[in-house]
Amino acid sequence: MQEQLVFDRPDVLADVPTHYCPGCQHGVIHRIVAECLEEFGLVEKTIAVSAIGCSVFIYNYVLVDTVEAPHGRAPAVATGVKRARKDAFVFAYQGDGDLASIGLAEIMHAANRGERISVIFVNNTVYGMTGGQMAPTTMIGQKTTTCPGGRCLEREGGPMHMAEIIATLGGVAYCARTAVNNMKNMAQTKRAIRRAFETQLNDEGFGFVEILATCPTNWKLSPVASNERIGKEMIPEFPLGVFKDAAKEE
Amino acid sequence: MSAKRIFIKGNEAIAQGALDAGCRCYFGYPITPQNDIPEKLSSAMPAIGGEFVQAESEVASANMLLGAAACGVRAMTTSSSPGVSLMQEAISYMAGSELPGVIVNMNRGGPGLGDIGSSQGDYYQSVKGGGHGDYRTLVLAPASCQECYDLTFEAFDLAFKYRNPVLILGDAIVGQMKEPVAPRAPLPIDPEAGADWKLTGRGQRAPRILKSLFLDDGALAGQNLHLQQKYQSMQAEVRYEAFETADAELIVVAFGSIGRIAKSTVRTLRAKGLKVGLFRPITLFPFPEAELRALAGQGKRFLTIEHNLGQMVDDVRLAVRGIADSDFFGFLPGNMPTPEDFDAPIRAAVKGA
Ligand SMILES: Cc1ncc(C[n+]2csc(CCOP(=O)(O)OP(=O)(O)O)c2C)c(N)n1
Ligand code: SF4
């Protein structure tokens, strides 16, 4: 029987096993980002900014020019990159500890200035790399190594909703929250990333996509149960949708 | 050199030096006593097609510098003491990732919020590496408005030559005083700068990664050895001013504005027949160690004067160790020194022989 290839790896994605834990969705999101870069023909002119956290090694998988930023500072580094090289396509890839905690000022101000950059924000409700401590996005009742009794609203505050917060800022052209827990949501994630990239290419403003993703290791759940948690627990707390799209306003 | 001299403040000379040296990205955050720099560049930079960003903090401005530097563009940030403390994170990352950038510190009094007057309290921070990890930055210390201009102009070349952050350690006095400055012919932008390492978008070549993370066994050791060799090669850049040192018995060692003020005292005391001279390090890293040691070998004695509680004196003593020592006079931050303030300490050191 003649075989026909119907699904392939984007060339810009390295043909190597990733270091991520089984069931971790950083790999899935890398793939979607890689597909979007290729489909827009951006690979050759992209400069990526990698952040601190499990995804710091994105440069080992998505084969584009990359600079590593200190913890939380990726939006400031990306601002410097874009200002220095306006013809480049610039995206930053950040986790929730990185973006919503230590880097809160940098993301808010880059968004507010309307920097022509795209930020991919992977929200897995914990600090992954450092061993599962509480993040700003940790959900009420969720147990982590630094809130072993479960996050308590009165003691630690509630989870921060970054997509909703970012959408209020003037310089933002596109802001959405998606998930990668099923094919439908993966397709939606791809549409969102495409649209975020487009806002940069069209010089419309800042593009932001928050993606709900798993961290089976630190959630202490199987990959399958982790995926289910996204649908059952995370999406009710962090509703999916487009919170701002400048093109659709007026 | 263009014929026309301009009458400007030290801070403005830094801004002009950067513009003429081809700096095209500036990031900053307001802090006294260096605000003339961002204020001048907020209009001057866009006027020549450059970028000016008032960042949300010094943390952000130094990281914007990191990003622009990664693209091989001449970029600068400026601040004063508390702000420079906040920049140390990015400076360490730039040193680790070998990124060229210029960082100006118009040193004010501390610790903490201190005051806005002049001080040299940030010597250790600048010279010993104020951020984490084993690294060095080239440190240039201007004593006049002309040097503010010239050293800023040259800082960009040095940053690219060594792929390393370059610090300019000025102070409130030199930043706020006004003098005639002879500008140089502006440098054209060099499109080849950093051609073999800068990020441009990979095009047809292999991707480049600029990073400071080295996890594989031995990888960090290799990187740090490479950095150490680089720091040693910076010895080639040593600069200093030696004034009346040839026949001096006592040499005053002082940098920046304090060196300038001490020079006046030395001149006055010379006129009164005292055999004193001045040695003013212009590069604080690399420190003019061999030159001081050579003077010690000629039997000279030393008095280090600083606008702090005693920091550079450590480096002077290291330089002359085994041969001589250095007396120290610390003029306390919170006061403005005059040449007369150094008269008694120098006379005392001369007698101390
Ligand atoms: C200044 C600084 N503080 C703390 C750390 C330690 N650190 C490394 S990764 C990380 C958390 C990253 O979490 P997140 O952004 O959620 O990414 P994930 O690992 O979950 O993908 C922290 C706190 C650091 N590298 N730098
Ligand atoms: S710790 Fe969590 S985020 Fe990190 S690789 Fe493992 S599953 Fe992914």
pLDDT at B47: 98
N-term to C-term CA, chain A: 56
B76 interface with A at CB cutoff 8 Å:
no
- Which letter does DSSP use for residue B74 in this model? -
Side-by-side strand order, sheet with A65-68: A241-245, A172-179, A206-212, A118-123, A89-95, A46-50, A65-68, B209-210
- Which letter does DSSP use for residue A13 in this model? B
B93, closest residue in chain A (CA to CA): A70
Q: Supply the DSSP string of B162-187, one letter for each residue.
A: HTSEEEEEEEHHHHH-EEEE-PPPPP
Which strand (E) or helix (H) includes residue B11?
helix B10-20
Residue B166 structure tokens? 């370059």
Ligand number nearest CA of A219 is: 2
A43 interface with B at CB cutoff 8 Å:
yes
| Nearest chain A Cα distance for residue B52, angstroms | 9
Ligand number nearest CA of A53 is: 1
At residue B145, what is the residue type?
Answer: C
A77 interface with B at CB cutoff 8 Å:
yes
Mean pLDDT of B68-82: 98
C-beta of residue A121 within 8 angstroms of C-beta of residue A99: yes
pLDDT at A248: 84
B residues 40-69 lying closer than 8 A (beta carbon) to A = 51, 53, 55-57, 59-61, 63-69
Whether A1 has a pLDDT exceeding 80, the answer reads no
| Nearest chain A Cα distance for residue B160, angstroms | 16
B215, closest residue in chain A (CA to CA): A57
pLDDT at B352: 85
Q: How confident is the model at residue B3 (pLDDT cuts 50, 70, 90)?
A: low
Mean pLDDT of A188-208: 98
- Which letter does DSSP use for residue B234 in this model? G
pLDDT at A247: 85
Sign of the dihedral through C-alpha B93, B97, B98, B100: negative
Mean pLDDT of A4-22: 94
B61, closest residue in chain A (CA to CA): A76
Q: Are strands B250-253 and B75-79 parallel, antiparallel or unpaired?
A: unpaired
d(CA B265, CA B280) in angstroms, rounded, equals 14
How many CB atoms sit inside 10 A of residue A92's CB? 33
Residue B258 structure tokens? 């304090």
User: What burial class does residue B236 get, using C-beta atoms within 10 Å of its C-beta: 0-12 exposed, 13-18 middle, 19+ buried?
Assistant: exposed
Q: Would you call A44 and B204 a contact, using CB atoms and an 8 Å cutoff?
A: yes
Give the residue among A246, A36, A187 at the shortest CA–CA distance from A120: A36
Whether B2 has a pLDDT exceeding 90, the answer reads no
Complex-level ipTM: 0.97
Phi-psi region of B211 (alpha: psi -120 to 50; beta: other; left: phi over 0): beta
pLDDT for B220-277, tens place per residue? 999 999 999 999 999 999 999 999 999 999 999 999 999 999 999 999 999 999 999 9
Whether B1 has a pLDDT exceeding 60, the answer reads no
Q: How confident is the model at residue A250 (pLDDT cuts 50, 70, 90)?
A: low
- Which letter does DSSP use for residue B26 in this model? E
A70 interface with B at CB cutoff 8 Å:
yes
pLDDT for A141-170, tens place per residue? 999 999 999 999 999 999 999 999 999 999
Kindly list the residues from chain B whose CB atom is less than 8 angstroms away from the CB atom of residue A59.
207, 209, 211
